Amino acid sequence: MVRDLVILGDGPHAHEMKSIVDRINRAAPTWRLLDRLPSSEADQDRCFVAFDHGFASPPDIVRGRWATLVDPSCFIAPTAAIESGCVLYPNCFVGHQARLHERVFCLAGAVINHHAIIGPHATLCSGACLAGHVEVGSRAYLGQGCNIRQKVKLGDDCFVGMGAVVLHDVAPGFVVAGNPAKELGPRT
């Protein structure tokens, strides 16, 4: 069954997600991409994705209507769990018993190894690499090319800088950067 899909926003990620929808549809027709947000959205059987920051939390869209987009080039272990509203760009890896909570955004080449747990609304930039048993809090932001050691816990709202090598837990709401990563202060 082909379902209607609306991408909220018109920034670069929205354009890239349109390409992912095209790739998914080439593999198996799944989505009919609509150009505009319809005025009577509540009465329609439509799904939504949103990762342009202006639409971080649209209030009128119920949880079950968030679509999950997984590029066909991704590897998803059969034991992994991916909740609604997640977007996985090309070449992402999601390992054995990993779990992505709702609306996780993974840019190209993100690696989420076995037993990792990613909290709701987290962002993993291109090339972010999580070893096994890593826990990522809600709304955490992991910069491009960062590496997170096995069994590390990243708190809610933390920010991991580009290329950081994180060897220890990160407190909620804090920024870390460097190799090895050092705490720089609270995220503002």
88 plus 175 within the same structural domain: yes
Domain annotation covers residue 188: no
Report, as an integer, the average pLDDT of 111-135.
97
Condensed to tens digits (0 to 9), the pLDDT of residues 7-45 reads 877 788 888 999 999 999 999 999 988 865 544 544 456
Determine the Cα–Cα distance for residues 147 and 43; give it in Å rounded to an integer. Answer: 44
Residue 6: the pLDDT is 84
pTM for this entry: 0.88
Assess contact for 159 and 140: CB atoms under 8 A.
yes
Asked whether residue 185 is assigned to any structural domain, the reply reads no
Identify whether residues 52 and 78 lie together within a single domain: no
Q: What is the pLDDT of residues 124-165, one digit of tens each?
A: 999 999 999 999 999 999 999 999 999 999 999 999 999 999
Domains identified in the chain, total number: 2
CATH number at 148 reads 2.160.10.10
Domain end marker among 45, 65, 85: 65
Distances (CA, A) of 4 to 48, 67, 116: 9, 10, 32
Q: Among the three residues 18, 43, 65, which one is the final residue of a domain in this structure?
A: 65
Identify whether residues 20 and 104 lie together within a single domain: no
pLDDT in tens, 58-93: 546 666 678 899 999 999 999 999 999 899 999 999
Same domain, 164 and 78: yes
Per the domain annotation, does 186 fall within a domain? no
What is the extent of the structural domain holding 40? 3-65
Are 20 and 36 a contacting pair, CB within 8 Å?
A: no
